[in-house]
């Protein structure tokens, strides 16, 4: 049992603790989680009659194997007793080396070098720094802008924010402060929707802006926090060709899509193309600790090393944290030692079947499923409090946003729980 009575804990939370995308003091009380195990969150006290909630969110794409997993716990414990952290300047250690080797093994072939950092946003900052510095080192400092498509999300620090969707990403608030990037139209919605005129638009944007563009950065196949939209993998091939033709680097932000979520180990696999730089995070440690990785090709690394400043000037204090690296290595092992693709397919079928009735609900304009991602599109901004309460009453934790109710269950979720999660999504869509 927690030592703080729940009302006191919530009062202190309200007084001192800032929550994501929230005002200070907060206007709604969060739920107090006491512990978590498997696919269940255990609350400190019942809410709407529920003490346990099935987790439909994988803690924001990250908890692939569920909570309190014996293998990940053991990896953490074993490493904790050796060392939880040492600096990475001038020192190295087995957890970092083994993780980097594994990441190179499982990502597309030309990615050979790994920069480990502490969060997804930082890994995107590092990716941007790599790309800009690559062109500076090549004597092309004018190539300093980024090109992306609308509807994306790349994190909350400055460079990532600058390539988030300009309408959803608060660009208006930050005009004059954010670097001004180049935006193509959002990709046509739908995994199977290929539109040659949109491909031409992408080709034209890359060609027209090549002299000032260091890199194209996109989330492959699924735009996640920018609106949970899917697009044709063929556009990734179009971007790859256009970038090669016009001398622009290509960055895939796989922070949300990596580690099987979309049905291929990395979303790049849907298109069979490799980026020059790839960002990984979220599920990297199976949801245990904050860690991210930026991978690049030898060409990018060598380009930087040939420059006047031949080093990548970046070095987070907790770079390559051994505890996180050990858990990440164990988490990747857990994933690859099972038939993960089959599990994702099983979840995909359950979501397709369980969410289909949502299409008939008032206020719903669409239902879409890809891999272990299920999305119900509303025709209005969701009433977060009402939708969350409806899901909790159904025994499920969901966190709808904008005009969406969505799920991305841990891969270990059983069929019965998946059924309950789908019912909760329907209830949330009706209530919200
Ligand atoms: C979550 C996310 C980020 C940011 O990662 P943080 O760890 O929250 O900083 C960047 N890109 C994508 C695609 C994401 O989903």
In this structure, how many other beta carbons lie within 10 angstroms of the beta carbon of residue 251?
A: 28
pLDDT for the residue 2: 59
DSSP state letters, 68-95: S-HHHHHHHHHHHHH-S----SS---HH
- The question of whether 282 is a catalytic residue gets the answer yes
Q: Of how many residues is the chain composed?
A: 432
Cβ of 360: how many Cβ atoms within 10 Å?
9
Q: By the 8 A CB rule, do 153 and 322 touch?
A: no
| Final residue belonging to a domain, choices 292, 319, 336 | 336
Report yes or no: 265 and 257 within 8 Å, Cβ to Cβ: no
Does residue 208 form part of some domain?
yes
Residue 277 and residue 345 in one domain: no
The number of beta carbons lying within 10 Å of the beta carbon of residue 46 is 10
Provide the pLDDT confidence category of residue 170 given band limits of 50, 70 and 90. Answer: confident
Q: In this structure, is residue 255 part of a structural domain?
A: yes
Indicate if 337 belongs to the active site: no
Tokens of 46: 């019942």
CA–CA gap between residue 73 and residue 99 (Å, rounded): 17
Q: Which domain holds residue 378?
A: 31-61+340-431
Q: Report the pLDDT averaged over residues 97-106.
A: 98
pLDDT of residue 64: 96
* pTM, two decimal places: 0.98
Q: Ligand 1 pocket test: pick from 117, 128, 153, 155 the residue with the most ligand atoms within 8 Å of its Cβ.
A: 155
- Looking at the structure, tell me whether residues 81 and 47 fall in a common domain: no
Residue at a domain's end among 319, 336, 353: 336
CA of 284 to the centre of ligand 1 (A): 12
Atom of ligand 1 nearest to the CA of 282: 7
Mean pLDDT in residue range 111-131: 98
Instruction: Decide if 103 is inside a domain.
Output: yes
Report d(CA 350, CA 371) in Å as an integer. Answer: 10
Q: Are residues 177 and 296 in the same domain?
A: yes
* Strand intervals (E) in 191-347: 213-218, 222-223, 229-230, 249-253, 277-280, 292-296
Judged by average pLDDT, the poorest of 169-173, 238-242, 308-312, 418-422 is 169-173
The per-residue pLDDT of the chain, averaged, comes to: 97
Asked if residue 3 belongs to a domain, the reply is: no
DSSP state of 196: H
| C-alpha torsion 133→135→136→141, nearest 10 | -120
Domain boundary pick from 312, 336, 360: 336
147 lies in some domain: yes
Q: Are residues 308 and 199 in the same domain?
A: yes
196 with 311, same domain?
yes
- Verify that 289 and 405 share a domain, yes or no: no
Asked if residue 249 and residue 223 are part of one domain, the reply reads yes
What average pLDDT does this structure show over 194-208? 98
Give the model's pLDDT for residue 282: 98
Pair (226, 361) in one structural domain: no
394 and 267 part of one domain? no
Q: Say which residues have a Cβ less than 8 Å from residue 328's Cβ, sequence separation at least 6.
A: 99, 284, 285, 286, 291
| 365 annotated binding-site participant | no
Check whether 399 is labelled as a binding-site residue.
yes
Q: Give me the number of domains the chain comprises.
A: 2
Could you tell me the CATH number of the domain that includes residue 385? 3.90.1150.10
Please state, in angstroms and rounded to a whole number, the distance separating the CA atoms of residues 343 and 330.
Answer: 18
CA distance between the termini of the chain? 33
What's the CATH code of the domain at 144?
3.40.640.10
Confidence of residue 307 (pLDDT cuts 50, 70, 90): very high
Residue 137: CB atoms within 10 A of its CB come to 19
- pLDDT above 90: percentage of residues in the chain: 96
Decide if 197 is inside a domain.
Answer: yes
Tell me: pLDDT of 417 over 80.
Answer: yes
Do residues 45 and 178 both lie within one domain?
no
Q: 113 vs 102, 177, 340, 420, CA distance in Å? A: 11, 32, 26, 42
Backbone phi and psi for residue 167, each to the nearest 5 degrees, phi listed first: -85, -45
What pLDDT, on a 0 to 100 scale, did the predictor assign at position 175?
86
> What's the pLDDT at 1?
56
Q: Is residue 131 part of a domain?
A: yes
User: Measured in angstroms, how far is the CA atom of residue 357 from the centroid of ligand 1?
Assistant: 31
Both 294 and 249 in one domain: the answer is yes
Q: Look at residue 13 and tell me if it is in a domain.
A: no
- Please give the Cα distance from 342 to 414 (Å, whole number): 13
- Within this chain, do residues 293 and 380 fall inside the same structural domain, yes or no? no
Phi, psi (degrees; rounded to nearest 5) at 279: -105, 135
Specify the pLDDT at position 419.
Answer: 98
Q: Is 60 labelled a binding residue? A: yes
- Sheet of strand 182-184, all strands in order from the earlier edge strand to the far edge: 113-117, 292-296, 277-280, 249-253, 213-218, 145-149, 182-184
Q: What pLDDT score does 7 carry?
A: 96
pLDDT in tens, 346-361: 999 999 999 999 999 9
């Amino acid at each position: 049992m927690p030592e703080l009575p729940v009302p006191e804990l919530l009062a202190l939370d309200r007084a001192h603790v800032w929550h994501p995308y929230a005002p200070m003091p907060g206007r709604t009380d969060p739920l107090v989680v006491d512990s978590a195990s498997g696919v269940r969150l255990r609350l400190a006290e019942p809410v709407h009659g529920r003490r346990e909630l099935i987790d439909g969110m994988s803690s924001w794409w990250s908890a692939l194997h569920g909570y309190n997993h014996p293998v990940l716990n053991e990896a953490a414990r074993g490493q904790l007793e050796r060392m939880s952290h040492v600096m990475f300047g001038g020192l190295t250690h087995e957890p970092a080396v083994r993780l980097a080797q594994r990441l190179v093994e499982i990502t597309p072939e030309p990615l050979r070098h790994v920069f480990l950092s502490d969060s997804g946003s930082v890994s995107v900052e590092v990716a941007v720094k790599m790309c800009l510095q690559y062109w500076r080192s090549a004597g092309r400092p004018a190539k300093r802008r980024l090109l992306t498509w609308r509807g994306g999300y790349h994190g909350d620090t400055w460079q990532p924010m600058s390539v988030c969707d300009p309408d959803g990403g608060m660009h208006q608030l930050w005009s004059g402060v954010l670097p001004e990037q180049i935006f193509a139209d959002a990709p046509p919605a739908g995994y199977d929707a290929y539109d040659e005129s949109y491909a031409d638009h992408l080709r034209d944007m890359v060609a027209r802006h090549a002299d000032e563009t260091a890199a194209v950065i996109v989330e492959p196949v699924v735009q996640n926090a920018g609106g949970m939209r899917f697009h044709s993998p063929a556009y990734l091939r179009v971007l790859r060709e256009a970038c090669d033709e016009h001398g622009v680097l290509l960055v895939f932000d796989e922070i949300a899509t990596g580690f099987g979520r979309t049905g291929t180990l990395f979303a790049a696999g849907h298109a069979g193309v490799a980026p020059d730089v790839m960002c990984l995070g979220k599920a990297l440690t199976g949801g245990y600790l904050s860690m991210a990785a930026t991978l690049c090709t030898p060409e990018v690394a060598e380009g930087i090393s040939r420059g006047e400043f031949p080093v990548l000037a970046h070095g987070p204090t907790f770079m390559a944290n051994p505890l996180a690296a050990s858990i990440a290595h164990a988490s990747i092992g857990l994933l690859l030692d099972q038939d993960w693709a089959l599990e994702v397919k099983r979840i995909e079928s359950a979501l397709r079947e369980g969410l289909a009735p949502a299409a008939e609900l008032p206020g719903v304009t669409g239902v879409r499923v890809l891999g272990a991602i299920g999305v119900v599109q509303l025709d209005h901004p969701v009433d977060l409090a009402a939708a969350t309460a409806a899901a909790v009453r159904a025994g499920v934790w969901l966190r709808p946003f904008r005009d969406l109710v969505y799920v991305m269950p841990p891969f270990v979720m059983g069929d019965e729980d998946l059924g309950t999660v789908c019912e909760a999504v329907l209830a949330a869509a009706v209530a919200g």
